[in-house]
Chains A and B, each alone.
Chain A
Amino acid sequence: MRSIRRRADVPVTVTPDSFEYVDYVHEEIQILAEECARDAGLPDDANIHVDVVESSPLGRVKLEEFSPGPPPTIHLRVEGGAFENLKAPRQFDAVRCRESLGRFFFRLADALDQGFDFDGEFENLPVPRQVAWDVYALGRMNNKGYKVSHDRWLYLFRNRHGFTDDSDLFFEKLWKGDELTWAEIKGESEKLKSDEEIKAASSRRGTAAARAGRAG
């Protein structure tokens, strides 16, 4: 079912206007993106652009440009697979679209929030820190009624913080999504998987793993 545009949505531009490789509809993506931006709490005057790379079946989302403004500027590059129905190749999946965009928009709203006090490089965080922040974003999306998989993210989180009770407790704290700061997220994530452990794992594997331990 298509979403209905609401007045309070934050304007988002989406490219391309039409799709050749996949069966997606520009307007549908734009409406969902605007709802996500609004629910994340991004300001009404933000310049937000989403570029869908339909020629790629992969699903990476990359922040191409971000400046806090005011007004803030946000440019996301999304590979087409991020919006794809897992059971119907090349067909659009609104749930996956909302999750992919919402996860970034909630984190970007955090980054603009002085109370959150983010002091890292958004696109250069070590994977465990990034995933911890993702879980904090997804937990809040869950609270707002978005369909997100708790168990899927628990597994992704455990891989980066350990299959332990302490790790699960931290996950549930993040999922509950209650007014956390970047220092709290980063600090608890580091206790479970330190920068040294990440670097050691990367160096054991060589260059292919270098990005796992990127500085942040």
Chain B
Amino acid sequence: MKNFHPVEELARDERFVRTPLFDPTDKRRATDVDNDVRSRLHPLDEAAPEGARSLMHGIFMGEIQALEGAGRTAWDFRDDGETPYQLLLDMARQCWDEARHVEISVKLMDHMGTHIGEFTETTFLYEAACNPDPVLRLCGVNRALEGLAIDVFNTMRNFGMEGEDPVMSLAEDWMLSDEVTHVKMGSDWLRRMTESDPQRRENALMFQRTVDKLFSLQGLRGESEENPIQLARQFRRLSGFTEEEIDEVAGVAREAMEEAYAQHSAQG
């Protein structure tokens, strides 16, 4: 089996259609920041349950890629002479969790009246898991993207609770607890592996910031009523984020929101 499996070669059947996250040829307004469109997900909002269906499909695709990414990390650095065996075991454990999440997600999709392949797949998560440095890979995937997963699962759990949907709220709660562990793994390994290499730590955190900015998705995530995905401060604390680090993610999200507003104004 080869190292560093390219994204183009991920195994998918005919149900899966891949699209880029951003299409520069699409001249339509990329986002609508009107208050009546962008708001925290709530079951009584006109568009929220439909948005939740689409988000659930995105979660399902993310779980598949998280499984593939953690599997690759366990394999790609197996004998590089530097990566601790315990880190590889953590990645193997994460694969176990992600495989379970894929199965839960398929059942949740069925519950929500959607199915595998109703929506397209973007491969950003796996692409972040292709970094040749295992520390950057863990920062991009386990801290940035699994951190986003904490925010998404907490948002969906609250959405289920507000709609009194026991299937959604419990399933998301179970997955959320695993995500906290995955982010904590990323936080712990970042600190341990860069203890005597501050430059490498800075590079890894820079990579995380880039990924965080990219996936604040023009105000999709944040802490106001206008953000469909809410930043989950409490669970981020549990996963090893310091208060300053959480503030930084919140700041990046605010910046993304302001940029979206500016873009919206410029487009008239």
Chain A residues with CB under 8 Å of chain B are 21-22, 54-58, 60, 80, 86-90, 127-128, 130, 149-156, 158-160, 162-163, 198, 201-202, 205-209, 211-213
Contact A57 B40 (CB under 8 A): no
Please name the residue on chain A nearest to B16 by beta carbon. A87
For B32, list chain A residues within 8 Å (CB).
56, 58
CB distance from B98 to the nearest CB of A (A): 24
Contact B120 A201 (CB under 8 A): no
Query: Which among B44, B49, B117 is the interface contact of A209 at CB below 8 angstroms?
Result: B44
Q: How far is the CA of A200 from the CA of B159 in the complex (A)?
A: 16
Q: Does B114 make an interface contact (CB < 8 A)?
A: yes
Do A155 and B53 form a contact, CB below 8 Å, given A56-B28, A208-B35, A212-B42? yes
CB-CB contacts below 8 Å: B218-243 with A: 225-226
Interface residues in B43-68 (C-beta closer than 8 Å to A): 43-50, 53
Chain A nearest CB, measured from B195 CB (Å): 45
Partner among B28, B35, B36 whose Cβ is within 8 Å of the Cβ of A54:
B28
Q: Offer 6 A-B interface pairs, CB within 8 angstroms, sorted by A.
A: A80-B28, A86-B119, A127-B45, A151-B110, A156-B49, A156-B113
Decide yes or no: A212 and B167 within 8 Å by CB, A56-B29, A149-B113, A152-B53 being known contacts.
no
Which A residues are CB-close (under 8 A) to B43?
A: 159-160
Nearest first, the 10 closest Cβ-Cβ pairs linking A and B are A151-B113, A152-B113, A212-B44, A208-B39, A159-B43, A208-B225, A155-B113, A159-B49, A87-B17, A57-B28
Q: Are A89 and B26 in contact (CB under 8 A)?
A: yes
Q: Contact at A202–B23, with CB atoms within 8 Å?
A: no
CB distance from A198 to the nearest CB of B (A): 6
Decide if A205 touches B17 in the complex (CB within 8 Å).
no
Closest B residue to A90 by beta carbon equals B26
Query: What's the nearest-Cβ distance from chain B to residue A191, in Å?
Result: 16
A89 touches B45 (CB 8 A): no
Chain B, range 115-155, C-beta contacts under 8 Å to A: 117-120
Tell me the minimal C-beta distance from B119 to chain A in angstroms.
Answer: 5
Name A55's contact: one of B29, B47, B120, B165 (CB within 8 Å).
B29
CB of A60 to closest CB in B, whole Å = 8
Contacts from B to A (Cβ < 8 Å): 17, 19, 23, 26-30, 32, 35-37, 39-40, 42-50, 53, 110-114, 117-120, 162-167, 225-226
Contacting residue for B114 out of A22, A150, A152, A158, CB 8 A: A152
Q: What's the minimum C-beta distance from B84 to chain A, rounded to whole angstroms? A: 42
CB distance from B32 to the nearest CB of A (A): 6
Given A151-B113, A153-B113, A154-B113: A86 touches B120 (CB 8 Å cut-off)? yes
- Taking a contact as CB atoms closer than 8 A, the residue among A57, A89, A158, A160 that contacts B44 in the complex is A160
Q: Look across to chain A and name the residue whose beta carbon is closest to the beta carbon of B115.
A: A151
Q: A200 CA to B223 CA in the complex, in Å? A: 22
Interchain CA distance A152-B164 in the complex, whole Å: 18
CB contacts (< 8 Å) of A212 on chain B: these are 42, 44-46
